[in-house]
Amino acid sequence: MVSLVRMLSTQDTILKQEPIQSSLLPSYKLQPIPASTLLVLQSYTPPDLTRHIRISFQDIGFQGRNLNWYAFIDHVQITKEPLRPTETVAQMLSKQIEKDVVKMMVYRQSLPPEGGLLKIVFNVDTVIKRAPVQSMYLSPNALQPIPAGTELVLLTNKPDAYNMVSLPIEDSHIKFTLKDVEFKGFNQDWYAFVKHAGLQLVG
């Protein structure tokens, strides 16, 4: 089984286009990344004297670029492991009576201060979309390729009285909002096909 080279953020961090202090760079050269995010790498280099690694991402780009970002090595971990598919949203829905939302139990009544109880996990190479329709009907600006093995932290509503968090389902797609991360200028109202992705608890 082929191992994926991925970068796990072990805490909230900031990717940079230069290996210097974030405070010295303009916002368009910075990308916040929440803890527990897992991104598939095209390449990476060992830490330099400033303790930064240079990374390039497979398919995913931030601020319009996927090459030559820098991460502080103490905030991330490089992993080389085979893909382990998670239960898909479609499989979760098959166990529910309601089909217009997918529900997942969490173990706290309130959102953590920084937000983000769940993450969306992609089992296959896919695209996320700005509408729950086939990709052929959407412009490139409404599509974001996502490689298998990517895990992105979500912003969600607070759990209900039964400790359940719900996300909408529309036309066989799960609708979600990303925490801190934007693609094509948007972090909210993205859709993923229910057979291509699953949900996991953060942490």
16-25, 91-100, 105-114, range with the lowest pLDDT: 105-114
Residues 23, 71, single domain; the answer is yes
> Rounded to 5 degrees, what are φ and ψ at 130?
-90, 0
Task: Single out the residue of 5, 48, 37 nearest to residue 187, CA to CA.
Answer: 37
pLDDT band at 143 (very low <50, low <70, confident <90, very high): very high
pLDDT band at 145 (very low <50, low <70, confident <90, very high): very high
Q: Which domain holds residue 144?
A: 89-201
Q: Which CATH number is 175's domain given?
A: 2.30.30
Residues 105, 72, single domain; the answer is no
Residues 101, 165, single domain; the answer is yes
Last residue in a domain, options 59, 82, 105: 82
Residues 71, 119, single domain; the answer is no
Provide the number of structural domains found in the chain.
2
**Mean pLDDT estimate for the chain:** 92
62-76, 91-105, 135-149, 182-196, range with the lowest pLDDT: 62-76
* Amino acid symbol at 43: S
Q: Which residue has the higher pLDDT, 161 or 29?
A: 29
Contact indicator for 111, 117 with CB cutoff of 8 Å: yes
Residues 59, 94, single domain; the answer is no
